[in-house]
Structure 1
Amino acid sequence: MLVEIDKHGMISHARVRHARSPQIERGKRTAAITGIVVHQTDAETLESSLNSYRNPKANGAHFLIDKDGTIYQTAAIYQRTNHVGPLKARCLITGKCTPRDFPAKAGATAIHRIEMRKAPHERYPGNMEAIGIEMVGRARLPAGFRPIPEERHWSLDKLRGEYGIFDTPTAAQNQALSWLVSVLEDSMQMPHTEVFRHPLVSSKNKTEAQGANWNLPVPKP
């Protein structure tokens, strides 16, 4: 299904509410849009994320889906936002390379630089090529969690980042995600194979968006 997208990259459709936050936009894209990256906010409420997007130089994605399935567009599609982070090596996942093809002890930054020298179809989409979709959801420490002695000085946010388990998206969120992915794929002519969970493309909490499902049947308007 196609949707109307204005010259700035804002969707005109009854299902999408405009909540554009210029603070998270980092300038016009200089490369074609090639994929979608699905995230969770690590926040309890929609309002807390929208408020954070108003801070100077805030980071965020292009869309935000509330727990009730309401979709908010928070950045123009044709603007780059910082939502992906250093890229993992896609060729390792697809079996087209091995760790021996990278410099010994190459860290995340070094691998990202190597990946960014590749053509977009040979790597995961980065900030310049990816549309970001956030779903409201918090990472919580497991019941009874106790840090090991070396970690007792860590902040709660650092512990949650390492050991937290993200909320499962609601049924309404997954229905909205499926609709949004479908219309973006059709309108931007992107293949369905180029939609990824955040932890697959970058080194993030592995439970982020683990319950995200963008393959549900999508009713026509």
Structure 2
Amino acid sequence: MSTLKQGLLLDPKVTQKVFSGIERGALNKVNALVIHQTGANTAQQTFNSYAKGGHGAHFLIDKKGAIYQTARVTQKAYHVGKIKSKCYETKSCTKLQLQSAIQLLFQKGVPYSSRVSSLHRHEKAKPYPDRFPLNSDSLGIEIVGSYDTLKKQYEAISPLQNSSLKWLINELYTHFNITSADVYRHPEVSYKMASEASSATW
């Protein structure tokens, strides 16, 4: 079994390749995992992006299934984006919650980006799991896979990648108080292409 030391997941299956530029301050609580795809053909393309700072995730799985830790699990990374309304998306809102979500989502005369931002701020104030995970309480796992702009489709995740993903998720279960109910595909929680990580299983 892996061990956690100073934010690093220590195991022969994990290669440490931490990019301090994507670490964004203390991550005090891990409530969830968010599964992403890079939209790039190679791990190196993602590493080059991470080296510049900005957005990033805590782990990356390359096409051969190799696992890299790219940020410490004690540090926030910008990987989620603006979150959707969980109760609206899962059809579990109370009448009052539904009214609030609809009012924010469909304000007339307000640009779409402003409506999304307003909803995000509204949701952010809720405790987890009443809302989707945020950068401030989740870990991001990137899987290398290209995006076909014509077909609007992400590349299918390979069996090697999926095997590594399952192993990594199970290891993180042992270190944090999370279950399969706390693992999300990126498009579930934020405004991303629906096919991102759609072929991943755990």
The normalised TM-score by structure 2 is 0.90
SS at match of 1:137: strand
Letter in 2 for 1:193: A
| 1:11 aligned residue | 9
Instruction: Using the TM superposition, give the Cα deviation of residue 52 of structure 1 relative to its aligned residue in structure 2, in angstroms.
Output: 1.0
1:70 aligns with 2:56: no
Instruction: Using the TM superposition, give the Cα deviation of residue 15 of structure 1 relative to its aligned residue in structure 2, in angstroms.
Output: 0.4
Counterpart pick for 2:39 among 35, 38, 42? 42
Letter in 1 for 2:170: S
Runs of 5+ in structure 2 lacking a partner?
A: 108-114
Counterpart pick for 2:142 among 134, 152, 161? 134
State the alpha-carbon separation in 2 of the partners of residues 85 and 44 from structure 1. 22
State the alpha-carbon separation in 2 of the partners of residues 53 and 101 from structure 1. 37
State the alpha-carbon separation in 1 of the partners of residues 16 and 182 from structure 2. 25
Instruction: Using the TM superposition, give the Cα deviation of residue 99 of structure 1 relative to its aligned residue in structure 2, in angstroms.
Output: 4.2
1:125 aligns with 2:122: no
| 2:192 aligned residue | 204
Instruction: Using the TM superposition, give the Cα deviation of residue 140 of structure 1 relative to its aligned residue in structure 2, in angstroms.
Output: 0.5
| 2:111 aligned residue | none
1:178 aligns with 2:166: yes
State the alpha-carbon separation in 2 of the partners of residues 182 and 111 from structure 1. 32
Letter in 2 for 1:172: L
Instruction: Using the TM superposition, give the Cα deviation of residue 32 of structure 1 relative to its aligned residue in structure 2, in angstroms.
Output: 1.3
Runs of 5+ in structure 1 lacking a partner?
A: 143-162, 215-221
1:114 aligns with 2:122: yes
State the alpha-carbon separation in 2 of the partners of residues 201 and 4 from structure 1. 29
State the alpha-carbon separation in 1 of the partners of residues 199 and 159 from structure 2. 10
| 1:81 aligned residue | 77
Letter in 2 for 1:101: S
Higher alpha-carbon deviation: 187-196 or 174-183: 187-196
State the alpha-carbon separation in 2 of the partners of residues 41 and 205 from structure 1. 12
**Within 5 A, what are the aligned runs for 1:150-189?**
164-189=152-177
Residues 20-51 of structure 1: CA deviation (Å, up to 9, x unaligned): 0001110112x411000000001010111111
| 2:29 aligned residue | 32
Size of the alignment, in residue pairs? 190
State the alpha-carbon separation in 1 of the partners of residues 22 and 73 from structure 2. 12
Instruction: Using the TM superposition, give the Cα deviation of residue 101 of structure 1 relative to its aligned residue in structure 2, in angstroms.
Output: 2.8
1:101 aligns with 2:97: no
State the alpha-carbon separation in 1 of the partners of residues 83 and 59 from structure 2. 21
State the alpha-carbon separation in 1 of the partners of residues 81 and 54 from structure 2. 14
State the alpha-carbon separation in 1 of the partners of residues 138 and 23 from structure 2. 13
Q: Which runs of 4+ in 1 moved over 3 A?
A: none
| 1:194 aligned residue | 182
SS at match of 2:83: coil
Identity of paired residues, percent? 35
